[in-house]
Structure 1
Amino acid sequence: MPSSHGAALVLEPSLTTVPDNRPSADDLVAGLAALRPWLRDKQADAERQRRVPQETVERLDNIGIYCLTTPARFGGADFSSRELFRIYEALGAGCGATSWTVWASTGGNLWSAAFPERVVRPIYATPWVGNRTCAVGGSTRRLAGTARKVDGGWMVKGAWFFATGGAHASHAYLAVYLDDTDDTKVGMVLVSRDEYVRLDDWDAMGLAATGSATLVVEEELFVPDARFSSPQILIQRLAELQAQGDGLRPGGLARSVMVGTGNALGMAEHALELFLQSIGKKPIAYSPYARQQDAPVTHLNVGGVQMQIKAARRVAEAALDELDSLYEDGKDTTPADMVRLHADAAYIWDTCATAIETLFKASGASAIAKKQPLQLVMRNCRAGSLHAVHNVQTCMENYGRQLCGIQVKQASGNVLERVG
């Protein structure tokens, strides 16, 4: 039988007016700088909770950070790539897992375009603390659910792993496969948090505080046609919004991963700050140095790490300038641009993670204590570098293959990349 939740998103007309109280990028960076001591103090607690603590969510909401996770046409921010990078860097310098959660939750900005305005607009008009949506699944069948057509809608079931932002979202965009054998037949359904179960199964060595648990629909759920969409509909609707002046900035997933590298740089800067704070207070055991600060090996490590951070920043700045120039010129990224931008982002994440690991190893055995924040920053950054969109080996292979002029069909990607 159809679920009684089938019309859950049809709200009263009085809730369809979206407030417009967008802060500036400078306001957000300043607010995050002021909140940084709190974020750093709460990092370990966030890891223990395996989600961003609710009080942190409330403080972030107060400074307006969740305008990043709201589509611009519904009152969210429309920042340049450089501005978004600065914001994620400021947030990552406080807590990398919290920054990752905000960054990942912006996936709903894209998929909101694929559904009727009467369905989506009430979500963003309704008061809510935190990100309103999360978007999950689609790269493989294992990471998505299934849907079968019935009169007036679809019957959906499945499990969606790695639902970052799901702990705080009121709704979720969930990828579904429509055919048992044809991987090109995929869609996306929009469901409210009372229509799925969020498991307590996220326990990772890094980015534990992202709360990226599994969302489950065990019994078939009826989802009306208005809450079902597809990549093809999304592409058509994005073009319509672009013609109306409400389109998204160019770059797609490549732009998203590039602005998110601000988080990696923020964590690397935080790690260097932590290391430099400690070197004048302790000796190097089994050495002639009463202060770590006086040892040549420390100077080599710090100099090398600083150059790694600077190199990563230069790569990011060049890519960000390119993305913002495309927007100003009314152009979009080419497939070749996207491969290169993914490689840039992977290089930044791997370089920052490697730099932090150098500082961790140079800190000695005392650094392994859970009370020492450097070990948590290290684990968070390395975990971020291992995400599929940041995997340095995959991205460099793809980029190198492109440079060598070898054309191959991509085996997997997200639901939008596989259209065609």
Structure 2
Amino acid sequence: MAITASAGLDRPTGQELRARLAEMRTWLREHQAVAEQQRRVPQQTIERLDEAGVFALVTPKRYGGADFTTRELHDIYREFARGCGATAWVVWAAAGGNLWSCAFPEDVVAPVYESPWIGNRTFALGGTSRRMSGTARRVDGGWMINGVWPFATGSVHASHGYLAVFYDESDDSKLGMVLVPKRDLVTRDDWDAMGLAATGSQTVATDGELFVPDARFSTPEKLAARLDQLTGQGLGPRRGGIVRSLVVCTAIALGMADQAMEVFLAGITKRSIPYSPYKTQVDAPITHHVVGRAHAELRAAGRVADAAVAELDRLDAAGAEPSALQSLELHTDAAYVWDTCAAAVETLFRASGASAIMKRQPLQLIARNSRAGSMHGANGINTWLENLGRELCGAEAGVLSTSVLERGGRG
């Protein structure tokens, strides 16, 4: 099936999306607590985001989606997270389907993205281990899959899922991806976390075995070949793969930190410091020290993110993928940004006094969301410092535990 980039669709520019998200900032902040209570992004928020064109970020370019540089994406997500970091996280995570849309025949994928829908169309997950994925066995005309996939961010509002499956009981390299309508899956209302609770990252599962036709089964090898073909036609995603996605995600850490600093500074002229000679926090030298340190840490984190963003855009412009060492460095940069931002937000939270623990106060929610993001497996600072150090020292080690996305030939 020949394909061309969809024409005549409303593709907002990066500047337009940032402006629309800035207009929505108050709404998003007012609904942060509601989203946490519901443990998912409220449907009304999804509808407003859809009207603003935000879901162009999670639609492949050849079906009318946005095609932004890393810099543009980073700026969009930072503005987004200034409103609600958890909601921004859901949209960011759902963009994983953009890559895997390239692994399947166009007559299979096109109806998924071209039919009317409000919100993100797909989600993608699994592949790091058998515990996080399903299994598949060959049958006439396709595959019988069976499994449980936890942490299905983006699944609440999606119509389809890309799910990793192991198709050989004795060989962990035999890993595939299936495209499954969500209506064929069981969703478990089991996402109840201390941070990023609003992401609705529930578990999805099959009810026994489920038949998937051959056309809806693919592999990282097929993905890599198809990516080369689409790139040659000017229809493929930008280069950088999973590393680019993680660098873009640092914008969410920075955006939440921006919000935390704003909230903290808005309160220092109103709050006192009990058992001290200071009538308000702004009078106390410790407050100046806390703000100065947090600002310096966040400025440094922002500069690390900016350098990573610039490096990826340079590579993309040159038509090159990051090398193995560059990928390790960029991945470590992303983990550093998350760790630094989470620590700075926690410092601001602790300096806010006992009243900050009340759930009606936004800073406690931002602090929990920031720390949760920094604890995501892909953002673990200690893991990536070790991985980078091991590479630089030339130390031998086993194969990294990576997801099917990292095995897709791009990142």
TM-score, normalised relative to structure 2: 0.97
Question: Which residue does 2:244 correspond to in 1?
Answer: 255
Alignment of 1:244 with 2:233, yes or no, is yes
CA contact (8 A) 1:184 1:419 kept: no
Question: Which residue does 1:346 correspond to in 2?
Answer: 335
Alignment of 1:30 with 2:30, yes or no, is no
CA contact (8 A) 1:18 1:124 kept: no
Show the 5 A alignment for 1:92-103.
92-103=81-92
Question: Which residue does 1:83 correspond to in 2?
Answer: 72
Alignment of 1:198 with 2:187, yes or no, is yes
Shift of 1:244: 1.5
Equivalent of 2:55 in 66, 74, 93: 66
1:327-356 deviation line (CA, Å, top 9, x unaligned): 111111111111001100000000000000
Alignment of 1:166 with 2:155, yes or no, is yes
Alignment of 1:49 with 2:38, yes or no, is yes
Q: Separation in 2 of the partners of 1:211 and 1:257?
A: 20
1:284-337 deviation line (CA, Å, top 9, x unaligned): 011000010010000000000000110001001111111111111111111111
Q: Secondary structure at the match of 1:260?
A: helix
Q: Separation in 1 of the partners of 2:229 and 2:396?
A: 32
Shift of 1:409: 3.3
When the two structures are aligned, how many residues end up with a matched partner?
A: 405
Amino acid in the other structure paired with 1:252:
G
Show the 5 A alignment for 1:16-415.
20-415=9-404
Q: Structure 2: which 5+ residue stretches go unaligned?
A: none
Would the alpha carbon gap of residues 390 and 304 (structure 1) be closer, same or farther in structure 2, given more than 3 Å must change?
same
TM-score, normalised relative to structure 1: 0.95
CA contact (8 A) 2:56 2:64 kept: yes
Shift of 1:406: 2.3
Provide the identity percentage.
58
CA contact (8 A) 1:171 1:190 kept: yes
CA contact (8 A) 1:145 1:160 kept: yes
Q: Structure 1: which 5+ residue stretches go unaligned?
A: 1-15
CA contact (8 A) 1:51 1:210 kept: yes
Amino acid in the other structure paired with 2:210:
L
Q: Secondary structure at the match of 2:209?
A: strand
Shift of 1:17: 6.9
Shift of 1:18: 7.3
1:153-188 deviation line (CA, Å, top 9, x unaligned): 001111110000000001000110101121001111
Shift of 1:401: 1.6
Q: Secondary structure at the match of 2:67?
A: coil
Shift of 1:418: 4.4
Amino acid in the other structure paired with 1:66:
F
CA contact (8 A) 1:74 1:121 kept: yes
Q: Secondary structure at the match of 2:24?
A: helix
The list of structure 1 runs, each at least 4 consecutive aligned residues, that deviate by more than 4 angstroms after superposition, is: 16-19
CA contact (8 A) 1:19 1:125 kept: no
CA contact (8 A) 1:17 1:125 kept: no
Amino acid in the other structure paired with 1:324:
D
CA contact (8 A) 2:242 2:406 kept: no
Q: Separation in 2 of the partners of 1:253 and 1:410?
A: 17
